[in-house]
Structure 1
Amino acid sequence: MSEAPVLIAGAGIGGLTAALSLHAAGIDALVLESSRDIRPLGVGMNLLPHGVRELTELGLGDDLAELGVATAEHHFCDSAGNQLFTEPRGLAQGYHWPQYSLHRGELQLLLLERVRQRLGPDAVRTGMRLLDFTEHPGTVRVRVQDRARDADETLEGTALIGADGLHSTVRSRLHPQEGPLSWSGQRMWRGTTVMQQPFLTGRSMVVASDGTASLVAYPIGRDRVNWVCLVRIAEPGPLPADGAVTAADDHREGRLNDALAHYDGWSIDWLDVPELLKNSDHILEYPMVDREPLPAWGRGRVTLLGDAAHPMYPAGANGASQAVLDARVLAHELAQAGDDTPAGLAAYEHARLDATAGVVLAGRAMERAAGPAMLDRDRLAQIMDFYRKMADSEVAELNARPSLTVPRTGS
């Protein structure tokens, strides 16, 4: 067992999964979270079969089944509800693992609870804002601000994993010359609405479009439906430095009327879109952004994971699943490398860098090919097939791939 733990910046889905994965391989981990209180923020999300497999192998399969809805199909239609294309999902698609739709914050709290159960109550330190890091022979020193005490502290680890999200401090230190976020030109509004009457199969994800505005809606359990409105207002390009689209997180309060204006006249008889939006408990707004894939994530004993490494459009609903897969590969490669931590991190980056770049570019291509194509059955089928292949999530490949679980190297 290492004398110093692997330090993980960020207690999101990727960071917490990394802690569980490292612990399962017998490697000590300590999670540093900037927020002083981890609350179930955000709205709905999807966990694809490759993400579900990894969490199931960490012993969370029953938890996921209780927490989420096993998505049966993706149903594409126009703004009048006319079916354009359907695609089975999860088990119905032939995977050995389901696809789950669930609340992001509830999944985060589940992972947090399991980390504290397995690694100990002090395995996640909240209110610890990462300020900087320096590498030294055999260690990395991380300077953090303890927000509760308003005092700086230096911690030592065998490695530092930047799982600190879209606005990653670790990434900014590793790549200080990187430019602004890349904006798709689309604004997004998201919310959750309680609906007693399910639509379609009750386990359907609906993707509806009029060629300009789109809506995604799916159940996430406890009679809740997650919805996303997507409207293009500009051409793709760098995120503007000012204006209404600068908030790139999911905690900016949105205005109902701004979203409703784009769905006037929609008439789906099995889903009242205006009522769906009006009855949401709250609305979040943010731009759809990603970043150009990096030629390298880290160096030496420092690397990136999840959104800090490869922020991507929500097309394909793959962000959380890719973060989970990052975490599992990270633990696998570090365990395989033994005491040579830099070699383990290099192997992790080699395994995941190009794979995640493909997912980022596939999501970008999928979004930019949308619009009027969303009303063309044949084009829709081509787009979905292209994304699946680029995202490297084909059924047979996942079902046949060996497990990433490694024997524990310590106690």
Structure 2
Amino acid sequence: MKIIIAGGGIGGLTAALALQARGHDVTVLEAVREPRPLGVGINLLPHAVAVLADLGLLPALRGMAVETAALVFANKHGQAIYRDPRGLAGGYSHPQFSIHRGELQMTLWREASEKLTVLSGQRVTGVRDGNVALIDTAEGPREQAADLIVGADGIHSALRRRLAPDEGAPCWRGVMMWRGTTWAPPFLDGRTMVQAGHSQAKFVVYPIGAPREADGLQLINWIADRRVQPPTPGLTAPDRADWSRAGRLDDLLPTFGRWHFDWLDVPGLITRAEQMLEWPMVDRNPLPRWRLGPTTLLGDAAHPMYPIGSNGATQAIMDAQALADALTHHADLDTALAAYEDERRPFCARIVEMNRREGLDAILDRVEALAPDGFARLEDVIAPAEVAAEINAYKAAAGHQVRR
């Protein structure tokens, strides 16, 4: 089939490669005129890495990422609550990678450009007659027909708007995120991801590159979440024009300035950041459907969710595989799109709802409520088996599969 994918992000490019590998004629239309390796770090869970490995990208991933050995949950004093082995160290079939989002996207962009048609400066604004994409370019509007149009154009998706024209702005519940990268000495074993604090103030930190030979410093990715308003109904996020603006130290140090752990200097990371950007933590309500005629959605266009549990890019990659599989197993397009949606839409809707309830991070709030001043022994505060059960229940619901 002739397939148009609106959006050249991680999900859209993975879908393009997966569909091209199945013999389809794929064109990616990306709104940005000159794609660059923007953004900060993300985590790719093992089931997403398996999809990229099937596309021949595992060597490239190993060369640019850190193989995550564990995720550690800690309180705001830096005391460990639970250590969850990840990737090969956790018994999975594939590694988990901590990686720079922009470098991953540009790797996918180069791979796709060699194998199929990838056009930049091409913003899909709508669809006419079911299968004709309406496209804005610097030279003016144009149209392009296809057998299938896939909306992978993010949280502000034009194709999603066809299904939910009155949806309005993304949902915001008063939490802002500051994301940064800092060159710093490796912490713990140099391969561990940590989530410390609680829902009112949380610090997530992990390395996204190997230590430099010159000075031994490692590029550390960090995310600071802080509630700035109570989660009242109808709360409106900052204007979209302010998203990804430069963060200010004055917004973070009053909260995180005393978080000096035995193994990490949190305010030191923040103050030495080479870049720091600010976002509202937003999502959207799950849609009752993703398809309209020969169009469907994928990734953040379909299911934008809070960045909890490393599910953002991972679930977009899983969408890509599921769509390619559905088109392979069903000759009829409508049947294939129904099968894809039946597999992915309820699953991702559950993750959206779980993440609204703090998802994996809910255990941090429980420990904070029970022991705000820290603890001498975790078992005096909460049963370790109870912590493990709660974390493993979320992981099972989010699609983690440990090799047996």
If the length of structure 1 is used for normalisation, what is the TM-score? 0.88
Q: Which residue of 1 aligns with 2:358?
A: 366
String of CA shifts for 1:284-315, please: whole Å, max 9, x gaps.
11111111111111122011000000001111
Runs of 4+ off more than 4 Å: 376-380
Structure 2: unaligned runs, 5 residues or longer: 211-217, 371-381
Partner residue, 2:136: 145
Q: What secondary structure is seen at the aligned counterpart in 2 of 1:184?
A: strand
Q: Return the offset for 1:372.
A: 3.2
Which of residues 102, 106, 114 in structure 1 aligns to 2:103? 106
Residue equivalent to 1:231: 226
Give 1:406's aligned residue: none
The partner residue of 2:52 within 49, 52, 55 is 55
Per-residue CA distance 1:350-405 (angstroms, 9 max, x = gap) = 11111111221222222583663253654654542232122132325xx7xxxxxx
Instruction: Tell me which residue corresponds to 1:384.
Output: 391
SS at match of 1:299: coil
Write the letter of the residue equivalent to 1:220.
I
Partner of 2:203: 215
Stretch of structure 1 that moved more, 23-32 or 174-183: 174-183
- 1:22–1:29 CA contact under 8 A, matched in 2: yes
Alpha-carbon deviation of 1:82? 1.9
When residues 90 and 65 of structure 1 are mapped into structure 2, their CA distance, relative to the original with a 3 A threshold, is: same
Give the structure 1 partner of residue 214 of structure 2. Answer: none
Aligned mates of 2:191, 2:242 — CA distance in 1: 28
Instruction: Tell me what 2:19 maps to.
Output: 22
Corresponding position of 1:356:
348
Does the Cα contact within 8 Å between 1:291 and 1:311 map onto a contact in 2?
yes
Which stretch of structure 1 is more off in the superposition, 208-217 or 35-44? 208-217
Pairs within 5 Å for 1:62-73 = 62-73=59-70
Kindly indicate whether residue 103 of structure 2 is the aligned counterpart of residue 117 of structure 1: no
C-alpha displacement at 1:250, in angstroms? Answer: 5.7
Cα deviation, 1:5-61, whole Å, max 9, x if unaligned, reads: 200000000000010000110011100111101111110000001100000011111
Matches of 1:23 and 1:365, distance apart in 2 = 38
1:161 maps to a residue whose letter is V
Residue 112 of structure 1 and its aligned partner are, at CA, apart by 0.4
Q: Secondary structure at the match of 2:142?
A: strand
Please state if 1:95 is matched with 2:92.
yes
Any gaps of 5 or more consecutive residues in structure 1?
Answer: 400-411
Q: Could you tell me how far apart the structure 2 residues matched to 1:296 and 1:210 are?
A: 34
1:320 alignment counterpart: 313
**Counterparts of residues 62-211 of structure 1 (less than 5 Å):** 62-119=59-116, 123-136=117-130, 140-147=131-138, 149=139, 151-195=140-184, 197-209=185-197
CA change 1:228–1:255 in 2 (3 A) is same
Compared CA separation, residues 363 and 241, structure 1 to 2 (3 A): closer
- Match of 2:56, SS? helix
Q: Contact 1:313/1:363 (CA < 8 Å) preserved in 2?
A: yes
Using the TM superposition, give the Cα deviation of residue 207 of structure 1 relative to its aligned residue in structure 2, in angstroms: 1.3
Cα offset for 1:169?
Answer: 0.8
Q: Give the match for residue 407 of structure 1.
A: none
TM-score by length of 2: 0.89
Overall identity of the aligned pairs, in %: 44
State whether residues 248 and 286 of structure 1, in contact with CA within 8 Å, keep that contact through their aligned partners in structure 2. Answer: no
Q: Deviations over 1:182-228 (max 9, x none)?
A: 22321110000011x21101101111116741100000004210000
Partner of 1:405: none
- Matches of 1:35 and 1:8, distance apart in 2: 14
Matched-pair contact (CA < 8 Å) for 1:374–1:380:
no
User: Which residue identity lines up with residue 148 of structure 2 in the other structure?
Assistant: A
Pair 1:31 & 2:22 matched? no
User: Quick one: which amino acid aligns to residue 364 of structure 1?
Assistant: R
Q: Separation in 1 of the partners of 2:135 and 2:198?
A: 49
Secondary structure of the structure 2 residue equivalent to 1:353: helix
Decide whether aligned partners of structure 1 residues 65 and 239 sit closer, same or farther in structure 2, where only a CA change above 3 A counts.
farther
Q: Is the 8 A contact 2:208 2:221 kept in 1?
A: yes
- 8 Å Cα contact 2:179-2:224 kept in structure 1: yes
SS of the residue corresponding to residue 42 of structure 1 reads coil
Q: Is the contact between residue 44 and residue 226 of structure 1 (CA under 8 Å) also seen in structure 2?
A: yes
Please, what is the CA RMSD of the aligned residues?
2.0
